[in-house]
Amino acid sequence: MNVECHQAIVVGGGPAGLAAAIRLKEKGVDDVVVLEREHRTGGILRQCIHDGFGLTRFGETLSGPEYAQRFVDRAEELGITCLTDTTVLTLEADRTLTTSGPAGLKKLRGDAVILTMGCRERTRGALAIPGSRPAGIYTAGVAQEYINLRNLMVGREVVILGSGDIGLIMARRMTLEGAHVKGVYEVQPYPSGLPRNIEQCLNDYHIPLHLSHTVTDIHGRERLEGVTISQVDERFRPIPGTEERVDCDTLILSVGLIPAGDIANGSGLAVDGRTKGAFVDEHYQTNLPGVFSAGNVLHVHDLVDFVSLEAEALATAAAEYLRAGALPPCPLEVQAGANVGHVIPQRISGTRSFTLSLRVRQPMKKVTLTVAQNGREVLRRKLPKALPAEMIQLTIPAEKLEAAGDLEVSVQ
């Protein structure tokens, strides 16, 4: 099979991929190809019809499809090639991609390959929830696709497990479309979605949120008939005697998102066990030279605006890589210290400014975020609150960094 060569190949035409492709083109990289498995670009935003997108990126509040369309239009203006109906099967370490589509099998190799495939939803099986396996159990994103794209209503009496943002959004969507959402149950003692979504998706519609509760049994052979809810202790173990049956025909799971980097399995791409995405340096370059990663396939974001901004930063670096043939080496490690769940990037040069992204492990109020190098404070910032639901981002200026010594990020 012939191998088709390009300067830059972007895998995934969602908000990250389109933003990266556009920025590459704007930075003078002419030969950019976007590979998209769907018939249309835009990614998951096509089904996120609620508003609230774009405040950071565009300074106005848009629905998902409107936000996506701005990138789709700009890509078209710039004449970027988007190969739709094209699924990437595998990535190899030499940046060769094998794709499949109704038009046939293809092999493409990029001087730079940009991974922007987004994420997938954690399932019931991954959680190992006991009980029967009837119809009526949907992940929030699948329910959202049925309801918003395919005009199919998935149920009437609804219980939602997990307070992730998509679950909260679906609580409101299903209520508006006539379903009865009986409650949202969250195993953690705090919500995993954004506070404003608790307010406008649950409180506005009087949908109760039960923290430190989870589903411990599922009932029904054909269609779901009900779930057993239990309170959990501080180690998330169900407390005997707190079981309560809630009748419902639908269980929506909003229990976490996982980067969908599956095509890179077998390529030698190094994956961080905490983010489930790639290890990257400050240029968003992975351990495979010329392979870059950003957006939800790198680490799950709370807002699409940050996804696009991160992809644009990636593209700026990738354009430099293509122009110069290399980027400054990044020998310094960035470590997650006290109360920090993960950090992006995991490696830096120490000679350039970079954007640090992190999430805290538990909700905290009036905290101080500290970045230290060799025990020396590089940056300190006071925050009124820090929530696991919210990604924290800040710029670390080059002049504060030294060329040697690992960084540690902590929140206290």
Partner 1 sequence: MTRAFTCIICPNGCEITAEYEGTQVHAIEGATCPKGEDYVRQELTDPRRNIATSIPVEGGELPLVSVRLDKPIPKKDIFSVMDAINRLHVKAPTAIGQVVLADVCGLGANVIITKNVAAL
Partner 2 sequence: MQQSYDVVVIGGGVVGSAIARELSRYKLRIAVLEKESDVCTQTSGRNTGMLHAGFLYKTGTLKAICAVEGNQEFDQVARELDVPFKRTGKLIVGFTDEDRQRLENFMARGEANGVKGLEMIDRARMDELDPSAGGNFAMWCPASGILDPFLYTIALAENAVHNGVEYHLNCAFTGEERQAGGAHLLHTTRGDFLTRWVVNSAGLNSAVVSGQLGIPGYVIKPVKGEYFVLDKLAGQFAKIPVYPAPNPDNTFDTHATPTVDGNVLVGPDSQLARDFQDYESTQAAMDGLIESGSRMFKHMERGYFIRNFAGIRPKRIDPETGVVQDFVLECRDDVPGVVNLVGIESPGLTSALPLARRAVALIAQREALEPNPDFDPIRHGIRRFADMNDAEREAAIAENPDYGEIYCRCEKVTRAEILQAIHNPLGVHTVNGVKVRTRATMGRCQGGYCETRITEALHQELGEEFQDIDLGPAGSWMFTGSVKGGDRA
Of residues 205 through 234, those in contact with partner 2 by CB under 8 A are 216-218, 221-223
8 Å CB contact between 297 and 272: no
Of residues 276 through 335, those in contact with partner 1 by CB under 8 A are 302-303
Which of 2/151 has CB closer to partner 1? 151
Residue 326 found at the interface with partner 2 (CB under 8 A): no
Residue 107 found at the interface with partner 1 (CB under 8 A): no
Q: Which of 7, 26, 31, 69 binds partner 1 (CB under 8 A)?
A: 69
Minimal CA–CA distance to 307: which of 77, 46, 91, 119? Answer: 119
* Shortest CB 313 distance to partner 2, Å: 28
Residue 195 found at the interface with partner 1 (CB under 8 A): yes
Residues in binding contact with partner 1, number by CB under 8 A: 33
Residue 177 found at the interface with partner 1 (CB under 8 A): yes
Residue 156 found at the interface with partner 1 (CB under 8 A): no
8 Å CB contact between 180 and 158: yes
Of residues 250 through 269, those in contact with partner 2 by CB under 8 A are 260, 262, 265
* Shortest CB 52 distance to partner 1, Å: 8
Residue 123 found at the interface with partner 2 (CB under 8 A): yes
Which of 47/96 has CB closer to partner 1? 47
The token duo for 175 is 């209520």
Considering only the stretches 96-104, 189-197, 240-248, 321-329, report the one whose residues sit in contact with partner 1 under the rule CB under 8 A. Answer: 189-197
Minimal CA–CA distance to 155: which of 146, 163, 164? Answer: 146
Task: State the DSSP string of 111-130.
Answer: EEEEE---EEE--HHHHT--
CA 125 to chain centre: 20
Q: Quick one: DSSP state of residue 266?
A: T
Considering only the stretches 98-106, 144-152, 258-266, 351-359, report the one whose residues sit in contact with partner 1 under the rule CB under 8 A. Answer: 144-152
Residue 120 found at the interface with partner 2 (CB under 8 A): yes
Rounded Cα gap, residues 193 and 305, in angstroms: 16
Q: Which of 40, 77, 81, 89 binds partner 2 (CB under 8 A)?
A: 89
Residue 129 found at the interface with partner 1 (CB under 8 A): no
103 binds, among partner 1, partner 2, none (CB under 5 to 8 A by kind): partner 2
Residue 153 found at the interface with partner 1 (CB under 8 A): no
Task: Let me know if 6 is exposed, middle or buried by CB neighbors in 10 A (0-12, 13-18, 19+).
Answer: buried
Residue 240 found at the interface with partner 2 (CB under 8 A): no
Pairs from 231-239 (Cβ < 8 Å, separation ≥ 24): 232/187, 234/189, 236/187, 238/214
Q: Which of 51, 85, 111, 320 binds partner 2 (CB under 8 A)?
A: 85
* Shortest CB 168 distance to partner 2, Å: 19
8 Å CB contact between 295 and 16: yes
Residue 342 found at the interface with partner 2 (CB under 8 A): no
Minimal CA–CA distance to 95: which of 288, 368, 346, 233? Answer: 288
Residue 323 has phi, psi (to 5 degrees) of: -75, -50
Dihedral over Cα of 213, 218, 219, 224: its sign = positive
Task: Let me know if 266 is exposed, middle or buried by CB neighbors in 10 A (0-12, 13-18, 19+).
Answer: exposed
Which of 198/280 has CB closer to partner 1? 198
Rounded Cα gap, residues 90 and 83, in angstroms: 16
Minimal CA–CA distance to 387: which of 164, 186, 194, 185? Answer: 194
Considering only the stretches 110-118, 145-153, 251-259, 283-291, report the one whose residues sit in contact with partner 1 under the rule CB under 8 A. Answer: 145-153
Q: Which of 30, 55, 156, 190 binds partner 2 (CB under 8 A)?
A: 156
Residue 15 has phi, psi (to 5 degrees) of: -60, -30
Minimal CA–CA distance to 276: which of 150, 396, 125, 118? Answer: 118
Residue 239 found at the interface with partner 2 (CB under 8 A): no
The token duo for 87 is 């699924």
Q: Which of 6, 25, 46, 347 binds partner 1 (CB under 8 A)?
A: 46
Tell me the CA end-to-end span of the chain in Å, nearest whole number: 56
Give the interface with partner 1 as residue ranges (CB under 8 A): 39, 46, 49-52, 55-56, 61-63, 65-66, 69, 148-151, 173, 176-177, 194-196, 198-200, 204, 302-303, 384-385, 390
Q: Would you tell me which residues interact with partner 2 (CB under 8 A)?
A: 1, 37, 85, 87, 89, 98, 100-105, 120-121, 123-128, 130-136, 139, 141-142, 145-147, 149-156, 177, 216-218, 221-223, 238, 260, 262, 265
